[in-house]
């Protein structure tokens, strides 16, 4: 369900690592919870974030969610297509619905994130608590 090659956070973001670039988005569970996304607020290029910092917001008709970066780094690319057509994030959250790309500043931080399996369990336990 959740792609194996990605790493996940408790706040429902994922990151794909290619060398020193980390591509970040929100998970399928997050897009389902939010409902149809109507607006994205994403940072400018060059912004530098520490892990777990807020880098933007994703807005649906019924909710606004802050976006938190899984890893530290500098923003080197922003998905303009997603900003223009926020529905892409609902349709393809792990592919065309990516949000930002960071030039990562640390190799170590990824160890703190969850695997696909751990994230799957985490989501299940959250659902049970409802």
Partner 1 sequence: MKFLPTSDADRAEMLAAIGVSSVDDLFVSIPASVRQAPSLPPPLSEIEVRRLFGGLAKKNANAKETAFFLGAGLYHHYTSAIADQMLYRAEWLTAYTPYQPEVSQGTLQSIFEFQTHICLLTGLDVANASLYEGASALVEALLMAERLCPGRTKAVLSQAIHPEYRETVRTYFTNLALEIVEVPVGPDGATDAAALAAAIDEKTFAVAVQSPNFYGIVEDWSAASVAAHAKGALGLAVVAEAASLALLASPGEKGIDIACGEAQSLGVPMHNGGPILGFLACRTAHQRQIPGRLVGQTHDAEGHRAFCLTLSTREQHIRREKATSNICTNQGLMALAANIHMSLLGKHGLREVAQQSHAKAEYLKGRISALPEYRLPYPGPTFNEFLVEGPRAAAPMIAELARRGILAGVPLSRFGGPTNQFLVAVTEMNTREEMDRLVSALAEAGGRQ
Partner 2 sequence: MSLEVEEKKPAPVDRLHPESRQEPLVFERSGQGKVGYSLPPLDVPDVTAIPKELRREEIAGETEITEVEVARHFTRLSKLNFSIDQKLYPLGSCTMKHNPRINEEVARLPGFAAAHPLAPEEVSQGTLELAWRLEQALIELTGLARVTLQPSAGAQGELAGIVMVRAALEKEGNPRKGVLIPDSAHGTNPASAHFAGYKVRELKSNARGTLDLHVLEEAMTEDVAALMLTAPNTLGIFEDRILEIAEIVHRKGGYLYCDGANFNSFVGLAKPGLMGIDVMHMNLHKTFSTPHGGGGPGSGPVAVCERLVPYLPRPTIERRADGTFTLDLDRPDSIGRLRTFLGNYGMFVRALAYIVSYGNRIGEVAQGAVLNANYIRAGLADLYHLKYDAPTLHEVVFSDKKQAEHGVHNGDIAKRLMDYGFHPPTVSFPLIVHGALMIEPTETEGRASLDAFIHAMREIARDVREDPQIVLNAPHTTPVRRVDEVAAARNLVLRWKPGS
Q: Tell me which residue has tokens 């393809």.
A: 92
Minimum CB–partner distance for residue 84 and partner 2 (Å): 6
Binding partner 2 by CB under 8 A: which of 36, 91, 118, 121? 36
110 contributes a contact to partner 2 by CB under 8 A:
no
How many CB atoms are located within 10 Å of the residue 101 CB?
A: 21
Task: Select from partner 1, partner 2, none the partner in contact with residue 63, using the beta carbon and a kind-dependent cut-off of 5 to 8 Å.
Answer: partner 1
- The strand order across the sheet containing 64-68 reads 37-41, 54-60, 64-68
Binding partner 1 by CB under 8 A: which of 1, 20, 36, 39? 39
- Contact (Cβ atoms closer than 8 angstroms) between residue 57 and residue 99: no
Task: Select from partner 2, partner 1, none the partner in contact with residue 95, using the beta carbon and a kind-dependent cut-off of 5 to 8 Å.
Answer: none
- Angle 14-5-96 from CA coordinates, rounded to 5°: 55
Footprint of partner 2 (CB under 8 A): 35-36, 38-39, 59-62, 83-87, 130
């Amino acid at each position: 369900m959740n792609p194996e090659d990605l790493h996940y956070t408790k706040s429902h973001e994922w990151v794909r690592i290619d060398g020193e670039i980390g591509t970040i988005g929100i998970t399928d569970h997050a897009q389902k919870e939010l409902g149809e996304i109507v607006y994205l607020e994403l940072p400018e290029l060059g912004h530098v974030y520490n892990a777990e910092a807020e880098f933007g917001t994703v807005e649906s008709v019924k909710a606004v969610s802050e976006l938190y970066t899984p890893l530290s780094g500098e923003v080197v690319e922003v998905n303009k297509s997603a900003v223009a057509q926020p529905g892409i994030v609902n349709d393809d959250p792990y592919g065309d619905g990516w949000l930002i790309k960071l030039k990562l500043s640390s190799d170590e931080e990824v160890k703190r994130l969850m695997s696909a399996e751990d994230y799957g369990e985490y989501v299940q336990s959250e659902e049970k608590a409802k």
